[in-house]
């Protein structure tokens, strides 16, 4: 990538903090090591180093939307502060091209004693706008913030939501080349968030570069093209947003499993780790009894292709093991395989599974996502069990079904097609539910891209726009 094509370039970035046990050690570190260097002695250290960020490198193209994900304490905010220049790196370099607008912390740059109106002028002028430019755009800023008479009240009287409204309204009106947003929008109400995301999408269409941090995976998937996953200040994964979010879910699952295995040892004992897969045969196993090497047959070629497919499937799945999703298929009302549906059709999803252990308390579920990565719907056998337990419907509880080791079984999930025209992905999962209410869940097997189907319209018979059919009717 040439230097003219990027907006942000991060190379070998790291930030180290010195941690002192007592204030006295801080004073010693300031005085004694310089004296020791002057007399030619090895300097002593009275602190320990904490690397909040270490060896991070990436480039972001102009007009690209880039996401940063990770748990609290993973280094996300530190990385953004380094990029915006509010703190200096210990090692490495950061280059940015163009005007940067950053929404990092609530009220950063605001004087709590000033009114909202005064802070608009102060903040905008600090960001490079003239007084006349602020006058020209003030009405747009006030309309976007939509805080009414509070605009002339001191900022210290604002709620966190009002504060972020005003801060975001100022940032997006300076016409930035780079917009950096760090989780601040999470405090806004649903209507304001919708307005913010609409504004962000408008900026992206105008060629603004977006650096976006959020714990909301669907927002990251929808807004960004690429992403990076951080853990403990280091890069875990970087690539397409969908792949990085899958790695993020795997990371969260692993950490959650480690946590609950300590709290729920009885349940953990019921769901042991799966037996290791048999080791692949070595090349020597293809040798003939005379010691020669047999030529690769069509059968071995098919096995190689199957192994490649299996490797892809392994990358798209995770879980503690014990019970496994073998395959997922979509069928029509006549039980024939079908991958294309129309509004009003019946969609039948068959999830084929195998249990490697004796267990109960199982939930088999699916999640449906659109081609754009937006979650449309999620549902499982436990949802139906909860209705039975609440007395809303009759039937047996799948949650109480006793599974035996080696038992293969399947679950049918059925619904009427009310989806708009699109390509949809089915994710399948099997979870152990310690309680029949989703409050004590452990993922045994999760499978992305388990199946796909498409919905179309018979436009001359039945047509609607959007992602779902609300079965609207007109009356006059």
pLDDT at 452 over 60: yes
Higher per-residue confidence, 250 vs 107 = 250
Does residue 253 register a pLDDT over 50?
yes
Residue of 197, 185, 116 lying closest to 152 (CA atoms): 116
Lowest mean pLDDT among 187-201, 259-273, 321-335: 259-273
What pLDDT was estimated at residue 461? 84
Average pLDDT over residues 147-158: 85
pLDDT confidence of 214, banded at 50, 70, 90? confident
Neighbours of 382 (CB within 10 A): 24
Distance of alpha carbon 347 from alpha carbon 376, whole angstroms? 15
Please report the domains of the chain, with CATH numbers, ordered by start residue: 6-253 (3.40.50.300), 319-455 (2.70.50.60)
The C-alpha atoms of residue 416 and residue 455 are separated, in whole angstroms, by 12
- Determine the average pLDDT of the residues in 156-183: 81
CA distance 160 to 162: 6
pLDDT confidence bin for 327, thresholds 50/70/90 = very high
Whether 126 contacts 112, CB under 8 Å: no
- 125 pLDDT above the threshold of 90: no
pLDDT for position 476: 93
Task: Please give the sequence-ordered ranges of beta strands (E in DSSP) within 214-345, or none if there are none.
Answer: 226-231, 234-240, 317-318, 323-331, 340-341
Q: How far apart are the first and last CA of the chain?
A: 61
Is residue 299 over pLDDT 50? no
Question: What single DSSP character describes residue 43?
Answer: P
- Per cent of the chain over pLDDT 90 is 33
What pLDDT is stored for residue 132 in this prediction? 87
- Mean pLDDT across the chain, nearest whole number? 82
In the predicted structure, residue 428 carries a pLDDT above the cut 90: yes
Q: How confident is the model at residue 260 (pLDDT cuts 50, 70, 90)?
A: low
Q: What is the pLDDT of residues 384-425, one digit of tens each?
A: 999 999 999 999 999 999 999 999 999 999 999 999 998 999
> Average pLDDT of 137-144?
85
Q: Which one of 45-54, 72-81, 119-128, 400-409 scores highest in mean pLDDT?
A: 400-409
- Helices marked H in 264-413 — which ranges? 265-270, 298-315, 381-389
Residue at token pair 């989806």: 419
Please give the radius of gyration of the chain, using alpha carbons only, rounded to the nearest integer. Answer: 28
pLDDT at residue number 283? 34
Instruction: Encode pLDDT of 335-361 as tens digits.
Output: 899 999 999 899 999 999 999 999 999
DSSP secondary-structure letter at 383? H
Which of 2-6, 77-81, 89-93, 198-202 is predicted with the least confidence, judged by mean pLDDT? 2-6
If you average pLDDT over each of 21-30, 46-55, 66-75, 357-366, which comes out highest? 357-366
pLDDT at 144 over 50: yes
Q: What is the mean pLDDT of residues 41-57?
A: 88
Q: How far is 277 from 280, CA to CA, in rounded Å?
A: 9
**pLDDT of 181 higher than 70:** yes
Q: Tell if the pTM clears 0.85, that is, is over it.
A: no
Q: Check: CB of residue 131 under 8 Å from CB of residue 121.
A: yes
Does the structure show a pLDDT above 90 at 156? no
């Amino acid at each position: 990538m040439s230097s003219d094509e990027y907006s942000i370039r991060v190379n070998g970035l790291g930030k180290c903090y010195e941690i002192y046990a007592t204030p006295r050690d801080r004073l010693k570190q300031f005085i004694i090591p310089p004296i020791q260097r002057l007399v030619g002695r090895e300097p002593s250290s009275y602190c320990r180093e904490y690397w909040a960020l270490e060896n991070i490198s990436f480039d972001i193209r102009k007009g690209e939307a880039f996401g940063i994900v990770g748990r609290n304490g993973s280094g996300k905010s530190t990385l953004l502060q380094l990029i915006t220049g509010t703190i200096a790196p210990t090692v490495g370099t950061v280059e940015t091209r163009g005007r940067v607008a950053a929404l990092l912390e609530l009220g950063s740059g605001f004087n709590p004693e000033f009114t909202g109106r005064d802070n608009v002028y102060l903040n905008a002028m600090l960001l490079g706008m003239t007084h006349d430019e602020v006058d020209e755009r003030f009405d747009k800023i006030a309309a976007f913030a939509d805080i009414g008479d509070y605009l002339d009240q001191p900022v210290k009287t604002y709620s966190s939501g009002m504060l972020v409204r005003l801060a975001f309204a100022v940032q997006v009106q300076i016409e930035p080349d780079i917009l950096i947003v760090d989780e601040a929008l999470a405090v806004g109400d649903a209507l304001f968030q919708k307005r913010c995301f609409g504004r962000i999408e408008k900026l992206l269409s105008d060629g603004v570069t977006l650096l976006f941090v959020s714990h909301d995976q669907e927002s990251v998937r929808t807004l960004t093209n690429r992403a990076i996953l951080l853990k403990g200040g280091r890069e875990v994964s970087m690539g397409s947003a969908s792949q990085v979010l899958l790695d993020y879910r795997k990371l969260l699952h692993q950490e959650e499993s480690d946590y609950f295995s300590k709290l729920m040892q009885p349940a953990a004992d019921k769901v042991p780790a799966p037996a290791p897969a048999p080791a692949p045969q070595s090349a020597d196993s293809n040798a003939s009894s005379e010691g020669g090497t047999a030529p690769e047959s069509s059968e071995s070629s098919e096995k190689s292709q199957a192994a490649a497919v299996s490797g892809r499937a392994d990358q798209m799945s995770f879980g503690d093991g014990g019970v496994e999703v073998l395959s997922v298929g979509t069928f029509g009302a006549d039980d024939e395989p079908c991958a294309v549906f129309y509004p009003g059709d019946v969609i039948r999803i068959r999830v084929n599974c195998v249990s490697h252990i004796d267990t109960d308390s199982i939930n088999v579920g699916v999640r449906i996502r659109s081609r754009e990565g937006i979650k449309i719907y999620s549902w499982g056998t436990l949802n139906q069990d909860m209705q039975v337990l609440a007395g809303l419907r009759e039937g047996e509880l799948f949650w109480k079904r006793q599974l035996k080791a080696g038992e293969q079984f399947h679950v049918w999930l059925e619904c009427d097609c009310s989806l708009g025209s699109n390509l949809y992905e089915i994710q399948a999962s099997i979870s152990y539910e310690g309680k029949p209410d989703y409050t004590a869940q452990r993922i045994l097997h999760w499978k992305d891209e388990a199946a796909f189907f498409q919905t179309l319209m018979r436009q001359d018979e039945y047509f609607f726009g959007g992602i779902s059919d609300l079965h609207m009717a007109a009356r006059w």
